[in-house]
Structure 1
Amino acid sequence: MNFKDQIDVNRLPQHIAIIMDGNGRWAKNQGKFRVFGHESGVLSVKDIVEGCVEIGVKYLTVYAFSTENWNRPIEEVNALMELLISTINQEVETLNKNNIRLNAIGDLKSLPQKCIDDLAAAMDKTKTNTSCTLTLALSYSAKWEIVEAAKKIAELVKADNLNIDQINEELFASYLTTAKMPDPELMIRTSGEHRISNYLLWQMAYTELYFTETLWPDFRREDLFEAIVDYQKRERRFGKISEQLN
């Protein structure tokens, strides 16, 4: 029996977050430049998105470019930006065909203007799609996101538009970039690394973590389905004990 057939569609994670790791190592193993790994990784993104649509996952968020990634060699950063632009332009038709809405979070204004413009156009062209929301975390840092939310709330308090006693978890979460989507129930990281690398720190307070040795360019929908099967075998207690759940 394949992993898809083992999935209980009534207990799907509504939101899956992924750290797409291992492109560079995959390319090195092939005797290629790192950018070749990033190009090949795009194929994995397409297959995983289609896999989510196939079984009914409503939200998929992928860590495409962190704020720390700006520190990589300029040649790699430029190649990644060019790849981002070309991929966005090529995939809008496919996104619409599959009823997928494109979204983006992060310090987007730090991206090259061409990226900003093409990303905005793609999001506008797909904004009415309802099957799945694909969110690209671009120039993203969870610490940056939390600080930005704190600044916005502080400005409201300073202007006497918000009482400090009104600040709670729900209000704070409403000022995060993910305010309009549920927190991820499952986070997948490829390549064998066991850390979350400044990714959705607030949102992943109770997320189930799944780590795989598979490098991202080799990760396909059957790997996704395997991760979901593993997730569905876990008991999510949220601070309670098993007897309370049963």
Structure 2
Amino acid sequence: MLVAAAVCPCPPLLVPEVATGAAHELDAARTACADAVGLLAASRPDRLYVVGAAPEGGHGVYPAGSAGSFAGFGVDVSVRLGEGPDADRALPASLAVGAWLLDRAGWADAPIEGLAVEETATPDVCAGLGRGLADSAGRVALLVMGDGSACRTVKAPGYLDERAEGFDAAAGRALGTADTVALLAMDTELAYELKAAGRAPWQVLAGAAEGAGLDGRLLFEDAPYGVGYFVAAWS
């Protein structure tokens, strides 16, 4: 059963070494993420799953011990998803950022496993994955990594799209109130067009939280660099 969840953005820029001189610009987001992860620890889970989006071919389960690196972003920083033997596949960026957040928090409260979801996965598939996670242990917690639209300004990765602000506002309301119905009803085509990588992971969360009676709080909401970032805590 799902007992707690933290929703965090997943830009590698959260890692100060990646952001270099601009690291301070995401200080508030890092603080909110640390608070959300702290609430996960307080829930005393039996198992923690880190859920994020992955490009085609990178989806699937990542066992404890899976490693990732930010070398592709120009820095020699490596991370590991909990303790375990070396795994065959490197973590996708979303799970690597999640592993960095957990390492930063000194996570040692429960076994960890990663789940990367294809960005094109349907809501039904995502919800089914979430239900499976929730049923896997008596007390399950999720760290859900995903961004909103990437089209909030002309300098955003996806350029300016006037639909982006409304999409992000609706996502923020749903995440901040633990509204599983609204999350599962998100327009998948619109999310894809707005490059909202969080859509699939958020719908995994919605499936896991069905019937759990969790309340939500939005701890952070902003759109630096024209990308929607949210931090929420469900408990």
Q: Same fold (TM over 0.5)?
A: no
Greater radius of gyration (CA): 1
Between structures 1 and 2, the one with greater helix share: 1
With the length of structure 2 as denominator, give the TM-score of the two structures: 0.35
